[in-house]
Amino acid sequence: MYSIIARHVLYPVGEAFLGTRMLKYLKELEKTQWWSPERLRELQNDKLRALIKHAYENVPYYHRTFQEKGLTVNDIQAVGDLQKLPVLTKDIIRKNFSELLAKNSNKRRPFLNATGGSTGEPLKYYIDAEATSINWAGTFRGWKWAGYKLGDQRATLAGASLVPDKPPSLIKRLRWLGERDRPFSAVHIDNEKMALYADKISAFKPAFLRGYPSALYSFANYLRKNNLRSIKPKAIFTTAEMLLPHYREIIEGQFGCKVFDNYGCYDGGLQAMECTEHNGYHISVEKAVMEFVDKDRNPVHLGESGEILATDLHNYTMPFIRYAVGDMGTLCSEQCPCGRRLPLMKSIEGRTSDIIVFSNGVTLSGPALTLMFKDCRIKQYQVIQEAKDKLVIKVIKAEKYSDSDTDHFLKIIRAHVGKNVIIEIQFIDDIPLTKAGKWKFIISKVNE
């Protein structure tokens, strides 16, 4: 009943207020998921040509890039032609920020967003109502594969209110209410907090649970140890971190339902989600182009691991074309038994952030750290668990860094890890890369 009201009353009213078109896109995506690969490719190429034309005409950075490369709009007719264009890195975005903003972006209700995902240094970018609409439509489509209906009660155990001194906006709170989503912060989840969450979630009876794999794993372990079995969702959605196989096993065992893992990279418009076959991640090709390339940025063969490049087909406010999102993944040629022809990404390899566990049970993971450092004037950082209850934080200061930045992140981290953890801060000039050339921002030297 609520689901009917949600779909026919609450969402239409909410969308009229926010200027979004999620329901329209959801209807479209539910049709296109059954299209043939050829038809999907055609749709992608149509959207790509429109985006390229827009970028050339309205985005100074792309206008200049096309001219420097001696390219015209007609040179990019299909996804395969994207290789003629250079890769867009986070560094390039930071240096050309205002030039990447479309000249006519004002009419699109743009708003500033920032990454909170697996990379340590947050990236600010503009997005708009249109791109947000299809992002949400894609998420709901994927959830529906697990039986979700709009308005179904869900509890979220993640970084929703990670920074304690910032209460959520009124719009966000209204949205949670309408969507019947109850957020539980993945910060401070020691045993005491978990007992509280267990009571609250059990009383709320959510049809679906959603959250960071590490948080849901800790929660499942807590419930198991205390023999609490009253939380029985229909399915669980995990996102934002690598879902390790033993996490899946423990979570599914405790809650007695399936875990549907989701991959989302909204700065690149990317989205890939598991269906009931759990056979890989169906890519939402209707909203973004996903390329898999080697270190020379040539396409890898099917089944080979590659760096992911994203072209968001709907963010006209700040178009990212061939954006290096910082994740690795593997595309496969298999056809999913579910009948959907959206291509399958077999695995995601780039989200393995080490997870730190302290003796009080508190965990610290990549996405949580990213949010903690979000508003600090820090160029780079590295967090190392030197001993079971000792944390070393290495910081490279950015311009205008002051003691108030130290106070700010120290306060948040202290609140998160608890009183008994020793925190040492070191200011340094350089953070060495790993042998594989990767910058690890979270390291645990403690063996389990």
Give the burial class of 222: count Cβ atoms within 10 A of its Cβ; 0-12 exposed, 13-18 middle, 19 or more buried.
buried
Query: Nearer to Zn ion by C-beta: 138 or 183?
Result: 138
Which residues ranging from 338 to 357 are in contact with Zn ion (CB under 5 A)?
338, 340
Q: Which of the stretches 224-232, 288-296, 333-341, 363-371 binds Zn ion when contact is defined by CB under 5 A?
A: 333-341
Among 195, 257, 336, 423, binds Zn ion (CB under 5 A): 336
The minimum distance between CB 132 and Zn ion, in angstroms, equals: 25
Q: What's the CA angle centered on 104, arms 100 and 107, to 5 degrees?
A: 120
| Residue 239, number of CB atoms within 10 A of its CB | 21
Select the span of 47-55, 242-250, 336-344, 361-369 touching Zn ion (CB under 5 A).
336-344
Residue 330 — φ and ψ, nearest 5°? Answer: -130, 125
CB 55 within 8 A of CB 72: no
Give min distance, CB of 142 to Zn ion, in A: 10
Min separation Cβ 20 and Zn ion, Å: 27
What character string, x for contact with Zn ion (CB under 5 A) and - otherwise, covers 222-261?
Answer: ----------------------------------------
Q: Which stretch binds Zn ion (CB under 5 A): 33-41, 89-97, 148-156, 273-281?
A: 273-281
User: How many residues of this chain bind Zn ion (CB under 5 A)?
Assistant: 5
Closest Cα partner for 212 from 137, 280, 170, 264?
264
Beta strand 208-211 with 235-238 is: parallel
**In whole angstroms, how close is the CB of 149 to Zn ion at the nearest point?**
19
Q: In terms of CB distance, is 116 or 142 closer to Zn ion?
A: 142
Q: Which is nearer to Zn ion, 34 or 111 (CB)?
A: 34
Rounded to the nearest whole angstrom, what is the least distance from the CB of residue 21 to Zn ion in the complex?
A: 26
- Binders in 205-224 for Zn ion, by CB under 5 A: none
Distance CA 52, CA 358 (A): 49
Our finding on whether 190 is near Zn ion (CB under 5 A) is no
Cβ 144 to Zn ion, closest distance in Å? 13
Window 139-178: contact mask with Zn ion (x via CB under 5 A): ----------------------------------------
Q: Report the C-alpha gap between 351 and 103 in whole angstroms.
A: 34
**Shortest distance, position 341 Cβ to Zn ion, whole Å:** 9
Residue 187, C-beta contacts closer than 8 angstroms, at least 6 positions apart: 159, 161, 162, 164, 368, 415, 416
Q: Which two tokens stand for residue 76?
A: 């990019």
* Residue closer to Zn ion, measured from CB, 282 or 408: 282
In the complex, minimum distance from the CB of residue 431 to Zn ion, in angstroms, rounded to a whole number = 40
Closest CA to 135 of 11, 314, 280, 291: 314
Q: Determine the interface stretch with Zn ion among 8-16, 125-133, 255-263, 331-339 (rule: CB under 5 A).
A: 331-339
Give the residue with the Cβ less far from Zn ion, 231 or 235.
Answer: 235
Contact track, Zn ion, 275-304, x by CB under 5 A: x-x---------------------------
CB of 177 to Zn ion, least distance (A): 33
Minimum distance, C-beta of residue 340 to Zn ion, in the bound complex (Å): 5
Calpha distance 190→213 (Å, rounded): 16
The residue (of 6 and 275) whose beta carbon lies closer to Zn ion is 275
Residue 344 has phi, psi (to 5 degrees) of: -105, 130
Q: Where along the sequence are the contacts to Zn ion (CB under 5 A)?
A: 275, 277, 336, 338, 340
